[in-house]
Amino acid sequence: MAVSISRVPGRSDFHMQAPAKKGLPSEKILTGLVVAIVVILSILPMLRLVQEILAPGGRLSIAAVEAGLSNPSTWTATWNSLVVGFGGTILAVLFGTAVAILVSLTDVRGRSAFVLCFVTPLMIAPQVTALAWLQLFGPASPLLKLIGLAPPLGTRNPLYSAQGIILLLGIQYGPLVFLMVRAGLRKLPRELVEAGLAGGAGRWTVLRTIVLPLMTPSIIGASALVFVSCVGNFGIPAFLGIPANYLVLPTLIYQRLAGAGPSVLAEVAFLSVLIGAIAMAGIVAQDIISRRRDYRISTTSLPVEPFELGRYRVLAETIMWLIVCAILVLPLLGLFLTSLVPGYGIPLSLKTATLSNYSFVLFDHAAAKSAFLNSSVLSVTAAVFAVLVAVPLGYFIAWRVSWWTKILNLTVEMPYALPGVVLAIAALLLFLKPIPLINLQIYNTVWIILYAYLARFMVLALRPTVSGFHQIDRSLEEAAQVAGAGFMMRLRTIIFPLVAPVAVAGGLLIFMTALSELTVSALLWSSGSETIGVVIFSFEQGGDSSYAAAISMMTVALTFLVMLASNFLAPHLPNGVLPWRD
């Protein structure tokens, strides 16, 4: 029997065959396809934007730049952007780092439940956060009315201010800092802390002289990311700043475009590049700062043993859950109560509470109805497409490391790293005229939004997929190769099944982000292609907070459902793919 296995007839004649053709056609086709997709989604819009600034209409000119620079509103908005950018970043970093240290280094209980609650605001769209907070503090706040603390009608909502924007940006992005610092703290080898304690240093000294310095890379990295997010954020300054006429660059662009239409495209293109430049400056500053000293941790070991808080433990836990109340429970409660109010200023009671706002947006309002459909189709399509592209793309980036795969990776990161307005303007410029050759007009249709979503969110599926590939031993593919499987066969039977859970988790993140996305669609929507984010925004601008609240509640509920459903994937995922899982 053994012999029959080693000498199967018909096998040895293989060696007589002519050598196979060089290279693999299917692999080359797929490589070309993936590269083409990245070029179309990432490189093309950026090139178009740069061209518009430097050479509008094909001729080199700095007229657009000069026009932009001479307009005083540009300077006001830039200053305001920097104020809320730095303010929001400082608040988020202080808040997120403090909570990360409390949760990671002390023996507080109920950690995973807390992390889930604390990180959830990150999953909720900024404009929903803004709406929820507005409902909490305004003169019409049903919650304040219930406890008799509401200011008289007509009083200005205190959140309509720079301070309000900074506060909400800090709350929105504090969890982001928390996640990055917590990841850093988990990698901190416990010996480093124990050596400090053994050297006679107290806990506070160890925290100040060992833990925090070693966390510098995480904190700096988080600061840069948060700064870019704050500067590029549209939802919060749109809801809180526009009523107070406090404009930042993204809202200035929105107002210009909404007022004058495509005729001001060249001017707003300059503004969007200005935001892009500010964001890039933040990233470059991070790079310079983190190179100044060596913070590398060379050893791997068990994480730090938690400090015992003793009698302060209950106090710390109380603070933790008060934070959850403040940033999650109360705003959502405010939002929920508003969604039940029959009309502006009417006090909410068991008698007046109504579900008519829900039925109105679901069944009666045409734009809202189509927005639900549009946003669902857009986010599902974007998610599915991103997953399908992320697997081969991640494969090339993680396993076929070479100069061009590195460029590919950076290129995909760009549309997400830059503020969403930048991409939206680039897409407008790209598709204002029909696409040449095929003469297809996607401006003023839902397709231009889909294009922008694909470009912007691709990286959300790519990042976890690449980290998934890094965790899989390459020899699993090589074993299939030795077994005779060609590239497509390996992709289908080995590679895809192995990374599917991570890629799908990335797809879910895209779905959640895209579902109530506002920044991009606010600039790209047209009648008939409204998104949920746009409809919430226009209801709120028109004073119909109850309708806006009702739609927001539904998206929040859907987000929670997706988070819940994705937990089924959790056992198959590397750490950190689902941010809310501790």
Partner 1 sequence: MAGLTIDQVSKRFGEHEALSNVSIDVADGEFLAVLGPSGCGKTTLLRMVAGFEKVSGGRIVIGGQTMSSAEHSLPPEKRKVGIVFQNYALWPHMTVAENVGYSLKVAKVGRAERDRRVTEALSLVNLNGFGDRRPANLSGGQRQRVALARCLVSAPSLVLFDEPLANLDVHLRASMEDEFADFHKRTGTTIVYITHDQAEAMALADRIAVMDKGKLAQLAPPRELYREPANEMVASFISQGIILPADVLTAAESGHCRVRVLGQEVVVRCRPDERPRAGAKLCCRSPELEAVGAHEEGIPVAIKRVVYQGGSARVELSPVERPDLNLHIEQADPVTLEAGVEARVRIKSGWVIPEAGNAS
CA separation for the pair 3, 173 (Å, rounded)? 66
CA separation for the pair 175, 553 (Å, rounded)? 21
Q: How near is the Cβ of 480 to partner 1 at its closest, in Å? A: 7
Q: Which is nearer to partner 1, 119 or 495 (CB)?
A: 495
CA separation for the pair 258, 255 (Å, rounded)? 5
8 Å CB contact between 448 and 427? yes
Q: Which is nearer to partner 1, 1 or 60 (CB)?
A: 1
CA separation for the pair 185, 170 (Å, rounded)? 21
Q: Which is nearer to partner 1, 12 or 70 (CB)?
A: 12
The structure tokens 């007509």 sit at: 154
Using the CB atoms, write b or e for 489-520: b if 16+ within 10 Å.
ebbeebbbebbbbbbbbbbbbbbbbbbbbbbb
Q: Which is nearer to partner 1, 294 or 473 (CB)?
A: 473
Residues interacting with partner 1, by CB under 8 A?
Answer: 1-3, 5-8, 11-12, 14-16, 19-20, 22, 24, 473, 475-476, 478-486, 489, 493-494, 497-498
Q: Which is nearer to partner 1, 377 or 479 (CB)?
A: 479
Helices marked H in 472-544 — which ranges?
Answer: 475-482, 487-490, 496-515, 519-524, 532-541
Q: How near is the Cβ of 259 to partner 1 at its closest, in Å? A: 55
Q: How near is the Cβ of 482 to partner 1 at its closest, in Å? A: 5
Q: How distant, in Å, are the alpha carbons of 30, 45, 482 from that of 487?
A: 10, 31, 12
Helices marked H in 72-189 — which ranges?
Answer: 72-105, 111-123, 126-137, 142-146, 162-187
Q: How near is the Cβ of 74 to partner 1 at its closest, in Å? A: 49
Q: Which is nearer to partner 1, 197 or 472 (CB)?
A: 472
Q: How near is the Cβ of 475 to partner 1 at its closest, in Å? A: 4
Q: How near is the Cβ of 564 to partner 1 at its closest, in Å? A: 25
CA separation for the pair 419, 558 (Å, rounded)? 26
Q: Which is nearer to partner 1, 2 or 288 (CB)?
A: 2
- What's the 3-state SS for 425-460? HHHHHHHCCCECCCCECCCCCHHHHHHHHHHHHHHH
3-state helix, strand, coil in the chain (%, to 5): 75, 0, 25
Q: Which is nearer to partner 1, 426 or 494 (CB)?
A: 494
Q: How near is the Cβ of 485 to partner 1 at its closest, in Å? A: 5
Q: Which is nearer to partner 1, 18 or 564 (CB)?
A: 18
CA separation for the pair 57, 517 (Å, rounded)? 32
Q: How near is the Cβ of 15 to partner 1 at its closest, in Å? A: 4
8 Å CB contact between 467 and 574? yes
The structure tokens 């198959």 sit at: 572
Q: How near is the Cβ of 494 to partner 1 at its closest, in Å? A: 6
